[in-house]
Amino acid sequence: MSLSPDELERYARHVVLMEVGGIGQQRLKAAAVLVIGAGGLGAPLLLYLAAAGVGRLVVVDDDTVSLSNLQRQVIHGTPDVGRPKVESAADTVRRVNPHVTVVAEHRRLTGENAAALLEGITIAADGSDNFSTRYALADACATAKVPLVTAAIGRFDGSITTLKPYALRADGRPFPSYRDLFPTPPPPGAIPACAEAGVLGALPGLLGTMMAMEVLKEILSIGDSLAGRLLLVDALGARYETIRLD
């Protein structure tokens, strides 16, 4: 998949990187990423994937923009209040990079539609805010052998990992699945929602940007994957801890 002169100039800082180069940029252009959630995590994730030149972004979200979203969901603006988040996000992506094809799916991912949404997808990224979606997506990705970058946030903390349970580690053991990490969902009400607990606006920006980095690494096959590792972020303490998942 060739790059136009405009694209070569746009991605010049990528092309000069030995780890990316022209071939890597073509791989990004040929990639398709399924992004679940156009909210706090999905906003920076989508912006950086679009800016990086990922060729196709499929955005799934059934919510609309509210005024309280704007403190952290930087892909939306005040005029977007009341609009479907996927439409607002798609418009912003197109302004950031007209070379990117964006598909807006104004619906919730479920166990019934997950497999269809994963058709033709290179890698998925989960920025959802409910466990039913997380389990449905993780199960579908495992079945389809599609890598999944997933993150979660609290008030001032977060976590991120990459899931590839269909692949084997160097010692021959499979990488863990989402259900290995979290065998069952927590009881209803055990984890307060963002509207109840609150969240510092920059925190999802930090974790969402880290998600973008992990997605790009997987597409380009560079660096050390987070598969088999869980990265914990304590934003107030400025501490990061990596836990190996056995």
Q: Which residues of 193-211 are buried (b: 16+ CB within 10 A; e: fewer)?
A: ebeeeebbeebbbbbbebb
Nearest to 245, CA basis, from 178, 191, 185: 178
Catalytic residue numbers, as ranges: 194
- Helix, coil or strand: residue 168: strand
Closest CA relative to residue 34, chosen from 141, 111, 193, 159: 141
Buried b (16+ CB within 10 A) or exposed e, 53-75: bbbbbbbbbebbbeeebeebbbb
Question: What number of residues does the chain have?
Answer: 246
Alpha-carbon span 195 to 88, nearest angstrom: 21
Could you tell me which of 104, 141, 101 has the C-alpha nearest to residue 123?
141
Phi and psi, residue 21, nearest 5°: 65, -175
- Measured distance CA(76)–CA(121) in Å, rounded: 25
